[in-house]
Structure 1
Amino acid sequence: MKTLKQLLADKPKTLAVAAPDDSVFQALCVMAEYNVGALLVLQDGKLVGIFSERDYARKQIRNQRSSKETPVRDLMSARVAYVGIDATLEECMSLMTEKRFRHLPVLDDQGQVLGILSIGDLVKETISAQQFLIGELERYITS
Structure 2
Amino acid sequence: MKIKDRPEFRSKAAVLTFGPDVPVAEAVAVMSERNYGAAVIVGPDRKPLGIVTERDFMRRLLNKRMNPDETTLSQIMTTDLKMARADDDLLDWLRIMSNERFRHLPVVDDQGVIISMMSQGDFVSYTWPELMGRLKEQARATFNVSPSLVMIIACVAIFAAWSVTIFAQLR
Are 1:17 and 2:41 matched, yes or no? no
How many angstroms apart in 1 are the aligned matches of 2:103 and 2:35? 15
Q: Secondary structure at the match of 2:106?
A: strand
Greater RCO, 1 or 2 (C-alpha within 8 Å, sep 6+): 1
Are 1:98 and 2:103 matched, yes or no? no
In structure 2, do the counterparts of structure 1 residues 128 and 36 end up closer, same or farther at CA, with 3 Å as the change threshold? Answer: farther
Match of 2:4 in 1: 5
Aligned runs of 1:56-95 on 2, under 5 Å? 56-95=57-96
How many angstroms apart in 2 are the aligned matches of 1:109 and 1:35? 29
Deviation string 1:43-75 (CA, Å, 9 cap, x unpaired) is: 111110000001111111344531111100000
Match of 1:47 in 2: 48
CA RMSD of aligned residues (A): 1.9
Q: Secondary structure at the match of 2:32?
A: helix
Unaligned runs of 5+ in 2: 138-171
Comparing 63-72 with 87-96, greater Cα deviation is found at 63-72
Comparing 113-122 with 61-70, greater Cα deviation is found at 61-70
Using the size of structure 2 for normalisation, the TM-score is 0.70
Identity of aligned residues (%): 32
Aligned runs of 1:26-45 on 2, under 5 Å? 26-44=26-44, 45=46
CA shift, 1:34, in A, is 2.2
How many angstroms apart in 2 are the aligned matches of 1:69 and 1:78? 20
Q: Secondary structure at the match of 1:127?
A: helix
| 1:28 partner letter | V
- Post-superposition, which runs of at least 4 consecutive aligned residues in structure 1 deviate over 4 A? 128-131
How many angstroms apart in 1 are the aligned matches of 2:123 and 2:36? 15
Using the size of structure 1 for normalisation, the TM-score is 0.82
Larger radius of gyration: 2
| 1:124 partner letter | S
Aligned length: 132
More strand by share: 1
| 2:85 partner letter | G
Deviation string 1:114-139 (CA, Å, 9 cap, x unpaired) is: 100011111122224556x58xx9xx
How many angstroms apart in 2 are the aligned matches of 1:75 and 1:90? 30
How many angstroms apart in 2 are the aligned matches of 1:53 and 1:82? 19
How many angstroms apart in 2 are the aligned matches of 1:128 and 1:52? 28
